[in-house]
Amino acid sequence: MNVIYPLAVPKGRRLCCEVCEAPAERVCRACTVTYYCGVIHQRADWGSIHEKICQLLIPLRTSMPFYNSEEERQHGLQQLQQRQKHLIEFCYTVAQKYLFEGKHEDAVPAALHSLRFRMNVHGLSSVELVPAYLLLAEASLGLGRIVQAEEYLSQAKWTVLKSTECSYATHSLLHRNLGLLYMAKENYEEARYHLANDIYFASCAFGTEHIRTSGGYFHLANIFFGLKKLDLADTLYTKVSEIWNNYLNDHYQVLSQARIQQIDLLGKRFETDTGLDEAQEAEAIQILTSILNIRESTSDKAPQKTVFVLKILVMLYHQMMNSSKAQEYATRAFNLAKEQQLSVQEQNAVQDLLNLISAEEAHPVT
């Protein structure tokens, strides 16, 4: 039975819902430490994140086992810390991934989890909480609740202001979300200001040609596109594509080098990976797909750019081991190149890519 009776709990102990903090009526049978106020919230949480972290929550929410010696107690404490940190990161990544995939509803419980764990570990007014607040703000924006997003963002801003050593990356993220907020409120001046700040901080933190900076460029480009300044938007989109192209190319080179070396030792092939975590992959897909859509709408004037973006997508999917999509994009690129009669070089390059993908698919990686 999943139902519990609030009156039956020991005196003073309040069981609150995971999602909404109302008095809890249900419990998760699998882990018995997570409580919900109703079926809806239970289903939402399960679909969002609870399925993945169900068992991981148990050691965190029950009391510590009895240890015999001080060392063991210390060790136990450390393990607890480790688990919490791991959960923080994991929830954060999952929430980000949902956001980039556009599933804002699902992102909320995950983000809340991340926030709560951060509060547990770091305290209420630490800078570490800021990324979680920003996630929640973004999710609220995606759901259309602007006021709530503003609240979260003000909280984040206040925390950043009060803290003394906030990293550039956090500043960059804060400004990016502020930019998104103002975009939603259609205050494009402010949005541009904040995104400019975002790019500046991201460049300080990572460099101007890093994939983390590319998000800032992308959003700025969106603003210009919305303001109908198409040439500005165009240059920015090109920059974003180039950043991703360079990253994927370099990564591919590194991988093939490693593969050449390793193939002698082990005789089996390495699986390709992108070197990104899931959230970043999702971000890449989102950015590149939207650029592709925009390019396709203006495809007559500059087919090379569309082909360029398609090639990047092919490489991305190939490295993500999603060969069907890779194939699809490769064929699209090839057809487009043929139709628009691009230079022979371009056509050959696309052809090579297509062959590579087909070859990979024929001999699947172990």
Which positions touch other proteins (CB under 8 A)? Answer: 187, 189-190, 192-193, 195-197, 199-200, 203, 208-209, 217, 220, 224, 229, 231-232, 235-236, 239
Torsion from C-alpha of 51, 57, 61, 64, nearest 10 degrees: 150
- By C-beta, is 99 or 221 nearer to other proteins? 221
CB of 146 to other proteins, least distance (A): 14
Q: Tokens for 69?
A: 């010696």
Half-sphere exposure of 22 (CA within 13 A, CB side): 9
- By C-beta, is 243 or 314 nearer to other proteins? 243
Q: What values do phi and psi take at 326, rounded to 5? A: -60, -45
User: What would the DSSP string read from start to end of 297-356?
Assistant: HTTTT-HHHHHHHHHHHHHHHHHTT-HHHHHHHHHHHHHHHHHHT--HHHHHHHHHHHHH
Torsion from C-alpha of 204, 206, 211, 215, nearest 10 degrees: -30
CB of 188 to other proteins, least distance (A): 10
CB of 182 to other proteins, least distance (A): 10
- The set of residues, in sequence order, having a beta carbon less than 8 Å from that of 225 and lying 6+ positions away, is 233, 294
CA angle, 32 then 35 then 38, to 5°: 125
Q: How far is CA 119 from the centre of its chain?
A: 21
Sort 56 into a burial class: Cβ within 10 Å, 0-12 / 13-18 / 19+. middle
CB of 85 to other proteins, least distance (A): 33
Rg (CA), the chain: 24
CB of 199 to other proteins, least distance (A): 5
- By C-beta, is 114 or 238 nearer to other proteins? 238
CB of 325 to other proteins, least distance (A): 30
- By C-beta, is 238 or 274 nearer to other proteins? 238
- By C-beta, is 20 or 227 nearer to other proteins? 227
* Residue type at position 351: Q
- Please give the Cα distance from 312 to 292 (Å, whole number): 10
- By C-beta, is 26 or 239 nearer to other proteins? 239
CB of 173 to other proteins, least distance (A): 16
CB of 235 to other proteins, least distance (A): 7
CA angle, 51 then 56 then 59, to 5°: 140
Return the axis-axis angle of helices 70-101 and 278-297, rounded to nearest 10°: 10
CB of 189 to other proteins, least distance (A): 6
- By C-beta, is 18 or 234 nearer to other proteins? 234
Q: Tokens for 247?
A: 């990253």
- By C-beta, is 178 or 279 nearer to other proteins? 178
- By C-beta, is 168 or 252 nearer to other proteins? 168
* Strand 35-36 relative to strand 26-27, pairing: antiparallel
| Longest Cα separation, the chain | 79
Give 3-state DSSP helix, strand, coil % of the chain, rounded to 5.
75, 0, 25
